[in-house]
Amino acid sequence: MILPKKGDPVIVQNITGRYGRLHTRLMLDYGTNVAAGATPGKGGQTVEGVPVYDTVADAVGKSGAKTSVCFVPAEFTLPAGVEALEAGVKLLVIITEHVPVRDELKLVQLAQSKGATIIGPNCPGIIIPAQKVKLGIMPAPSFTPGGVALYSRSGTLTYEIAGQLTAAGYGQSLAVGIGGDPINGSTSIEWMDFVQGMPETKAVVTVGEIGGDAEERLARHISRSGYRKPIVAYVAGRHAPKEKKMGHAGAIIYGNVGTADSKIKALNEAGVRVAMTPMEVPALVKKALA
């Protein structure tokens, strides 16, 4: 997994759409080098001074970008993702929600075969404050450079907890919205292992939610791997009723599987400090770093 650094070129797919235009401007304002965009049939135009090409291959060829942010509608996300990966994109950030699970599986398999990483779908993206890199829709004022790596299944909680950390004086080395779908392009375990190798990361905050067994699997991984950095967790949805979807396609409990209690218990047993509210996260980070 290779993340862009300050000044590295980035492309935006469907840059001419409403959300593509808006977030291209916000990414540029933050300092991200959006060097090209791609929208079929729109080649030759510019968006916020960024040249637009008809194909991802042309955008990559002209800009040298290895990173793409995808704002393509759900029904076109599979071909758009395939086009990006075939063009040599190594980090594909898919903001789009309601992508069919079958399409997500195909994209994940292709990315693995290409040695590429997908963030999302149904996610806010990633932000690396010290590098002035923002890929996606995260609100920049919530984030500041620092030593806490934050990754989350919930977009809104990413911003909220980042804001709580920032207000308490704990900046972020990076923040990643993994995505709220049952199939994620990259997993919490993969991000946990990645930030293990970041010397600037002094502590990790992971934000989970009800549904699935991602947090239980993460807890087992932490126990088995002898993870060295202090970890703080928060699990959203403690009061959600069983067998009712709560916002995300992956946030659904069946019987005793995927409950907040089971996730909190597993994380505690792995030595992870678990906050009961988002506001408690900074205090637990302070204790973890003491």
Residue positions annotated with a catalytic role: 248
DSSP letters of the chain?
-----TT-EEEEETTTSHHHHHHHHHHHHHT-EEEEEE-TT-TT-EETTEEEESSHHHHHHHH---EEEE---HHHHHHHHHHHHHTT-SEEEE--SS--HHHHHHHHHHHHHHT-EEE-SSS-EEEEGGGTEEEES--GGG--EEEEEEEES-HHHHHHHHHHHHHTT--EEEEEE--SSSS-SS-HHHHHHHHHT-TT--EEEEEEESSSSHHHHHHHHHHHHT--S-EEEEEE-TTPPTT---SSTT---BTTBT-HHHHHHHHHHTT-EEESSGGGHHHHHHHHH-
